[in-house]
Amino acid sequence: MSFSSYKWWSWRWVIPVSALLLFTACSPTAQPIIPTDRPTLTPTLVITASALPPASPTPAVTPTPEVTGGPSPTPLLGATRTPDKAIGLPTRPANPNAPIIEFFRVSPETASPGGTFTLFWSTRNVTEAVIYRLDATGQRTLVYNVEPYGSQSITISARERVQVAYELAIGAGAGEAIQRLIIPLECPVPWFFAPSPDSCPIREANQTLIIEEPFERGRMFYIEDDNQIYVLYNDGNTPRWSIHDNRYNPAIHPERDPAFDQAFAGTGLVQPSARLGYLWRGLDTVRNRLGSGLAPEQGYEGFTQTAPTREQSFAGREDIFLTASDGTVIQLLPNGSQWQILTPTQ
Protein backbone atom coordinates (compact mmCIF):
# COMPACT_ATOMS: atom_id res chain seq x y z
CA MET A 1 0.00 0.00 0.00
CA SER A 2 1.37 3.42 -0.95
CA PHE A 3 1.71 6.37 1.30
CA SER A 4 -0.94 8.34 -0.44
CA SER A 5 -3.57 5.68 0.03
CA TYR A 6 -2.62 5.24 3.68
CA LYS A 7 -2.92 8.93 4.32
CA TRP A 8 -6.43 9.11 2.82
CA TRP A 9 -7.59 6.23 4.92
CA SER A 10 -6.12 7.64 8.14
CA TRP A 11 -7.65 11.07 7.57
CA ARG A 12 -11.15 9.61 7.01
CA TRP A 13 -11.18 7.98 10.45
CA VAL A 14 -9.14 10.37 12.57
CA ILE A 15 -11.31 13.49 12.12
CA PRO A 16 -14.58 12.05 13.43
CA VAL A 17 -12.85 10.68 16.50
CA SER A 18 -11.28 14.04 17.26
CA ALA A 19 -14.61 15.78 16.99
CA LEU A 20 -16.17 13.33 19.37
CA LEU A 21 -13.40 13.90 21.91
CA LEU A 22 -13.89 17.65 21.57
CA PHE A 23 -17.66 17.50 22.35
CA THR A 24 -17.10 15.16 25.25
CA ALA A 25 -14.51 17.40 26.81
CA CYS A 26 -16.91 20.42 26.66
CA SER A 27 -19.84 18.73 28.60
CA PRO A 28 -18.28 16.33 31.08
CA THR A 29 -21.44 16.33 33.39
CA ALA A 30 -24.37 15.86 30.82
CA GLN A 31 -26.77 12.97 31.46
CA PRO A 32 -27.47 10.55 28.72
CA ILE A 33 -30.91 11.00 26.95
CA ILE A 34 -33.00 7.85 26.76
CA PRO A 35 -35.70 8.05 24.08
CA THR A 36 -39.33 7.16 25.14
CA ASP A 37 -42.68 6.72 23.33
CA ARG A 38 -44.24 9.87 21.92
CA PRO A 39 -46.86 11.17 24.43
CA THR A 40 -50.58 11.46 23.44
CA LEU A 41 -51.75 15.07 23.35
CA THR A 42 -54.79 15.81 25.53
CA PRO A 43 -56.83 18.78 24.28
CA THR A 44 -57.43 21.50 26.85
CA LEU A 45 -60.69 23.52 26.73
CA VAL A 46 -59.95 27.19 26.77
CA ILE A 47 -62.93 29.46 27.54
CA THR A 48 -62.75 32.74 25.71
CA ALA A 49 -64.96 35.64 26.86
CA SER A 50 -67.51 36.71 24.26
CA ALA A 51 -70.19 39.37 23.96
CA LEU A 52 -73.41 38.87 25.92
CA PRO A 53 -76.18 37.13 23.94
CA PRO A 54 -79.15 39.16 22.74
CA ALA A 55 -82.28 39.51 24.89
CA SER A 56 -84.01 36.72 23.02
CA PRO A 57 -81.24 34.46 21.81
CA THR A 58 -81.89 31.83 19.25
CA PRO A 59 -81.09 28.47 20.81
CA ALA A 60 -78.11 26.89 19.15
CA VAL A 61 -78.15 23.29 18.13
CA THR A 62 -75.82 21.24 20.33
CA PRO A 63 -73.46 19.35 18.07
CA THR A 64 -73.56 15.60 18.29
CA PRO A 65 -70.11 14.05 18.33
CA GLU A 66 -69.51 11.86 15.38
CA VAL A 67 -68.40 8.40 16.32
CA THR A 68 -66.04 6.77 13.93
CA GLY A 69 -65.27 3.16 14.23
CA GLY A 70 -66.11 0.88 17.11
CA PRO A 71 -69.53 -0.36 18.21
CA SER A 72 -72.64 1.87 18.13
CA PRO A 73 -73.75 3.19 21.53
CA THR A 74 -76.62 1.31 23.15
CA PRO A 75 -79.40 3.29 24.96
CA LEU A 76 -79.40 2.80 28.71
CA LEU A 77 -83.06 1.77 28.67
CA GLY A 78 -82.65 -0.79 25.97
CA ALA A 79 -83.38 -0.77 22.30
CA THR A 80 -85.93 1.74 21.00
CA ARG A 81 -89.08 0.05 19.71
CA THR A 82 -90.51 1.30 16.44
CA PRO A 83 -94.31 1.67 16.79
CA ASP A 84 -96.35 -0.69 14.76
CA LYS A 85 -98.48 0.73 11.99
CA ALA A 86 -102.02 1.68 13.04
CA ILE A 87 -104.33 -1.22 12.57
CA GLY A 88 -107.93 -0.28 11.79
CA LEU A 89 -110.59 -2.04 13.78
CA PRO A 90 -112.85 -4.15 11.65
CA THR A 91 -116.17 -2.41 10.92
CA ARG A 92 -119.41 -4.26 11.00
CA PRO A 93 -120.82 -4.42 7.49
CA ALA A 94 -124.19 -2.69 7.02
CA ASN A 95 -127.19 -4.93 6.88
CA PRO A 96 -128.03 -5.13 3.16
CA ASN A 97 -131.59 -6.08 4.08
CA ALA A 98 -132.25 -3.07 6.37
CA PRO A 99 -135.09 -0.67 5.39
CA ILE A 100 -133.74 2.22 3.31
CA ILE A 101 -135.36 5.52 2.27
CA GLU A 102 -133.91 6.48 -1.09
CA PHE A 103 -135.69 9.85 -1.30
CA PHE A 104 -138.70 11.81 0.00
CA ARG A 105 -139.51 14.97 -1.99
CA VAL A 106 -142.26 17.45 -2.80
CA SER A 107 -143.32 19.34 -5.91
CA PRO A 108 -143.65 22.29 -6.01
CA GLU A 109 -141.15 23.05 -3.26
CA THR A 110 -143.30 25.95 -1.98
CA ALA A 111 -147.07 25.55 -1.67
CA SER A 112 -150.00 27.93 -1.26
CA PRO A 113 -152.67 27.76 1.46
CA GLY A 114 -155.68 26.01 -0.04
CA GLY A 115 -153.49 24.65 -2.84
CA THR A 116 -152.30 21.18 -3.85
CA PHE A 117 -148.81 19.64 -3.92
CA THR A 118 -147.46 16.16 -4.58
CA LEU A 119 -145.19 14.01 -2.38
CA PHE A 120 -142.76 11.57 -4.05
CA TRP A 121 -140.85 8.81 -2.27
CA SER A 122 -138.88 5.63 -2.84
CA THR A 123 -137.82 2.97 -0.32
CA ARG A 124 -136.19 -0.47 -0.34
CA ASN A 125 -136.42 -3.71 1.61
CA VAL A 126 -139.99 -3.06 2.84
CA THR A 127 -143.44 -4.04 1.61
CA GLU A 128 -145.28 -0.92 2.85
CA ALA A 129 -144.68 2.66 4.04
CA VAL A 130 -146.52 5.26 6.10
CA ILE A 131 -146.68 9.04 5.63
CA TYR A 132 -147.75 11.16 8.62
CA ARG A 133 -148.92 14.76 8.70
CA LEU A 134 -147.29 16.56 11.65
CA ASP A 135 -148.97 19.30 13.66
CA ALA A 136 -147.31 22.50 14.92
CA THR A 137 -145.78 20.64 17.88
CA GLY A 138 -144.31 17.87 15.71
CA GLN A 139 -146.89 15.26 16.71
CA ARG A 140 -148.20 12.80 14.12
CA THR A 141 -151.82 13.41 13.10
CA LEU A 142 -153.09 12.36 9.65
CA VAL A 143 -151.92 8.93 8.40
CA TYR A 144 -151.41 7.81 4.79
CA ASN A 145 -150.70 4.07 4.28
CA VAL A 146 -148.83 3.90 0.98
CA GLU A 147 -146.74 1.61 -1.22
CA PRO A 148 -142.93 1.35 -0.80
CA TYR A 149 -142.56 3.83 -3.65
CA GLY A 150 -144.93 6.19 -5.43
CA SER A 151 -146.57 9.62 -5.17
CA GLN A 152 -149.43 11.22 -3.27
CA SER A 153 -151.30 14.46 -4.06
CA ILE A 154 -152.41 16.47 -1.01
CA THR A 155 -154.66 19.54 -0.75
CA ILE A 156 -154.19 21.64 2.36
CA SER A 157 -156.60 23.97 4.13
CA ALA A 158 -156.78 27.63 3.18
CA ARG A 159 -156.15 28.45 6.87
CA GLU A 160 -152.71 26.83 6.82
CA ARG A 161 -149.90 29.30 7.42
CA VAL A 162 -146.08 29.50 7.40
CA GLN A 163 -145.34 25.79 6.72
CA VAL A 164 -146.62 22.22 6.80
CA ALA A 165 -144.62 19.12 7.74
CA TYR A 166 -144.82 15.46 6.73
CA GLU A 167 -142.88 12.38 7.81
CA LEU A 168 -142.14 9.15 5.91
CA ALA A 169 -141.60 6.07 8.08
CA ILE A 170 -140.69 2.48 7.14
CA GLY A 171 -139.70 -0.56 9.15
CA ALA A 172 -140.18 -0.98 12.88
CA GLY A 173 -138.22 -0.99 16.12
CA ALA A 174 -134.44 -0.68 15.79
CA GLY A 175 -134.77 -1.06 12.01
CA GLU A 176 -137.16 1.88 11.56
CA ALA A 177 -136.12 4.56 9.06
CA ILE A 178 -137.69 8.04 9.17
CA GLN A 179 -137.35 11.15 7.01
CA ARG A 180 -139.11 14.49 7.63
CA LEU A 181 -140.13 16.99 4.95
CA ILE A 182 -140.89 20.67 5.65
CA ILE A 183 -142.93 22.52 3.00
CA PRO A 184 -142.89 26.37 3.18
CA LEU A 185 -146.16 28.12 2.43
CA GLU A 186 -146.64 31.37 0.58
CA CYS A 187 -148.45 34.13 2.48
CA PRO A 188 -151.59 35.15 0.56
CA VAL A 189 -152.78 37.75 3.08
CA PRO A 190 -151.17 41.17 3.71
CA TRP A 191 -150.77 42.80 7.12
CA PHE A 192 -152.58 46.01 7.98
CA PHE A 193 -149.36 47.58 9.28
CA ALA A 194 -145.62 47.61 8.58
CA PRO A 195 -143.06 46.44 9.41
CA SER A 196 -144.97 43.18 9.55
CA PRO A 197 -144.32 40.30 11.97
CA ASP A 198 -142.41 37.20 10.93
CA SER A 199 -145.63 35.31 10.34
CA CYS A 200 -148.62 35.24 8.00
CA PRO A 201 -152.11 36.47 8.94
CA ILE A 202 -154.87 33.89 9.03
CA ARG A 203 -157.35 36.28 7.41
CA GLU A 204 -157.64 39.75 6.00
CA ALA A 205 -157.53 42.61 8.50
CA ASN A 206 -160.95 43.47 9.87
CA GLN A 207 -161.86 47.15 10.12
CA THR A 208 -164.13 47.84 13.08
CA LEU A 209 -165.08 50.29 15.82
CA ILE A 210 -162.66 50.14 18.76
CA ILE A 211 -163.15 51.90 22.12
CA GLU A 212 -160.11 52.39 24.35
CA GLU A 213 -159.68 53.81 27.84
CA PRO A 214 -156.46 54.21 29.88
CA PHE A 215 -156.27 53.23 33.56
CA GLU A 216 -153.77 53.63 36.38
CA ARG A 217 -152.38 50.14 35.84
CA GLY A 218 -153.39 49.19 32.32
CA ARG A 219 -156.00 49.81 29.64
CA MET A 220 -159.25 48.41 28.22
CA PHE A 221 -160.36 47.85 24.60
CA TYR A 222 -163.83 47.12 23.29
CA ILE A 223 -163.93 45.49 19.80
CA GLU A 224 -167.34 45.99 18.22
CA ASP A 225 -166.88 43.34 15.51
CA ASP A 226 -166.63 40.45 17.99
CA ASN A 227 -168.43 42.28 20.86
CA GLN A 228 -165.64 41.53 23.33
CA ILE A 229 -163.59 43.52 25.81
CA TYR A 230 -159.81 43.08 26.18
CA VAL A 231 -158.30 44.08 29.53
CA LEU A 232 -154.53 44.70 29.54
CA TYR A 233 -152.67 44.86 32.87
CA ASN A 234 -149.26 46.32 33.59
CA ASP A 235 -149.14 45.56 37.33
CA GLY A 236 -146.69 42.66 36.81
CA ASN A 237 -149.16 39.94 37.81
CA THR A 238 -150.62 37.16 35.70
CA PRO A 239 -152.49 36.82 33.51
CA ARG A 240 -151.07 39.86 31.71
CA TRP A 241 -154.32 40.29 29.77
CA SER A 242 -157.82 38.82 29.76
CA ILE A 243 -160.78 38.74 27.38
CA HIS A 244 -164.45 39.07 28.36
CA ASP A 245 -167.77 38.96 26.54
CA ASN A 246 -169.67 42.25 26.54
CA ARG A 247 -172.82 41.78 28.62
CA TYR A 248 -173.80 45.40 28.89
CA ASN A 249 -177.41 46.11 27.92
CA PRO A 250 -178.22 49.83 27.84
CA ALA A 251 -181.91 49.03 28.19
CA ILE A 252 -181.53 47.58 31.68
CA HIS A 253 -178.02 48.57 32.89
CA PRO A 254 -177.13 52.09 34.03
CA GLU A 255 -174.36 53.80 32.13
CA ARG A 256 -172.63 55.04 35.32
CA ASP A 257 -172.74 54.62 39.09
CA PRO A 258 -173.26 57.97 40.91
CA ALA A 259 -171.38 56.67 43.95
CA PHE A 260 -168.13 56.39 41.99
CA ASP A 261 -168.62 59.83 40.43
CA GLN A 262 -168.91 61.31 43.90
CA ALA A 263 -165.82 59.42 45.13
CA PHE A 264 -163.72 60.61 42.18
CA ALA A 265 -164.81 64.26 42.42
CA GLY A 266 -161.77 66.55 42.51
CA THR A 267 -159.22 63.70 42.09
CA GLY A 268 -158.73 63.92 38.32
CA LEU A 269 -159.75 60.26 38.05
CA VAL A 270 -162.77 59.11 36.06
CA GLN A 271 -165.29 56.30 36.22
CA PRO A 272 -165.51 54.15 33.06
CA SER A 273 -168.98 54.10 31.56
CA ALA A 274 -171.26 51.94 29.44
CA ARG A 275 -169.64 48.65 28.27
CA LEU A 276 -166.26 49.20 29.91
CA GLY A 277 -167.83 50.57 33.09
CA TYR A 278 -170.23 47.66 33.45
CA LEU A 279 -167.35 45.15 33.37
CA TRP A 280 -165.13 47.33 35.61
CA ARG A 281 -167.81 47.75 38.29
CA GLY A 282 -168.99 44.13 38.10
CA LEU A 283 -165.59 42.37 38.50
CA ASP A 284 -163.57 43.27 41.58
CA THR A 285 -160.48 41.56 40.12
CA VAL A 286 -160.52 43.77 37.04
CA ARG A 287 -161.21 46.94 39.04
CA ASN A 288 -158.56 46.26 41.69
CA ARG A 289 -155.85 45.38 39.17
CA LEU A 290 -156.56 48.25 36.78
CA GLY A 291 -157.26 50.99 39.29
CA SER A 292 -159.26 54.04 38.28
CA GLY A 293 -159.67 55.57 34.84
CA LEU A 294 -157.21 58.28 33.80
CA ALA A 295 -159.31 59.73 30.98
CA PRO A 296 -162.70 59.15 29.37
CA GLU A 297 -162.98 56.40 26.75
CA GLN A 298 -162.21 57.19 23.10
CA GLY A 299 -163.77 55.52 20.05
CA TYR A 300 -162.13 55.24 16.62
CA GLU A 301 -162.01 53.08 13.50
CA GLY A 302 -159.24 50.52 13.78
CA PHE A 303 -158.15 47.08 12.63
CA THR A 304 -157.82 43.63 14.13
CA GLN A 305 -155.97 40.63 12.69
CA THR A 306 -154.77 37.22 13.89
CA ALA A 307 -151.78 35.01 12.99
CA PRO A 308 -150.24 31.74 14.21
CA THR A 309 -148.03 32.45 17.20
CA ARG A 310 -144.26 32.08 16.94
CA GLU A 311 -143.97 31.03 20.59
CA GLN A 312 -143.10 27.33 20.68
CA SER A 313 -144.78 26.88 24.08
CA PHE A 314 -148.10 27.93 22.47
CA ALA A 315 -147.73 26.09 19.17
CA GLY A 316 -151.04 25.88 17.36
CA ARG A 317 -152.43 29.05 19.03
CA GLU A 318 -152.91 32.52 17.58
CA ASP A 319 -151.64 36.03 18.34
CA ILE A 320 -154.11 38.92 18.19
CA PHE A 321 -153.17 42.30 16.72
CA LEU A 322 -155.30 45.44 17.16
CA THR A 323 -154.97 49.16 16.55
CA ALA A 324 -154.52 51.49 19.54
CA SER A 325 -155.86 55.05 19.64
CA ASP A 326 -152.35 56.56 19.34
CA GLY A 327 -151.61 54.68 16.08
CA THR A 328 -149.52 51.92 17.64
CA VAL A 329 -150.42 48.24 17.35
CA ILE A 330 -151.08 46.00 20.36
CA GLN A 331 -149.97 42.34 20.11
CA LEU A 332 -151.61 39.87 22.48
CA LEU A 333 -149.81 36.54 22.89
CA PRO A 334 -151.90 33.40 23.61
CA ASN A 335 -153.38 32.47 26.99
CA GLY A 336 -152.91 35.93 28.48
CA SER A 337 -149.18 35.25 28.71
CA GLN A 338 -147.97 38.67 27.51
CA TRP A 339 -148.81 41.77 25.49
CA GLN A 340 -146.60 44.30 23.80
CA ILE A 341 -146.74 47.53 21.82
CA LEU A 342 -145.57 47.56 18.18
CA THR A 343 -144.78 50.88 16.49
CA PRO A 344 -145.60 50.92 12.78
CA THR A 345 -143.60 53.00 10.30
CA GLN A 346 -145.28 56.10 8.91
- Domains (range + CATH), the chain: 100-184 (2.60.40.1930), 206-342 (no CATH)
How does residue 72 score in pLDDT terms, banded at 50, 70 and 90? very low
Mean pLDDT, the chain, integer: 80
What pLDDT, in 10s, does the model give residues 200-247? 999 899 999 999 999 999 999 999 999 999 999 999 999 999 999 999
pLDDT at residue 282 greater than cutoff 50: yes
Q: What is the largest CA-CA distance in the chain?
A: 191
What pLDDT, in 10s, does the model give residues 291-308? 999 999 999 999 999 999
Q: How long is the chain? A: 346
Query: Which of the residue ranges 40-49, 106-115, 128-137, 140-149 would you say has the lowest mean pLDDT?
Result: 40-49
Amino acid at 68: T
59 preceded by cis ω (within 30°)?
no
pLDDT value at residue 344: 87
pLDDT at residue 1 greater than cutoff 50: no
For residue 99, what are the CA distances in angstroms to 55, 93, 133, 174? Answer: 69, 15, 21, 10
Strands (E), the chain: 100-107, 116-124, 129-134, 140-146, 149-155, 163-170, 177-184, 206-215, 218-223, 228-233, 241-245, 298-308, 318-323, 329-332, 339-342
pLDDT at residue 261 greater than cutoff 80: yes
pLDDT at residue 70 greater than cutoff 60: no
Other Cβ atoms closer than 10 A to 111: 22
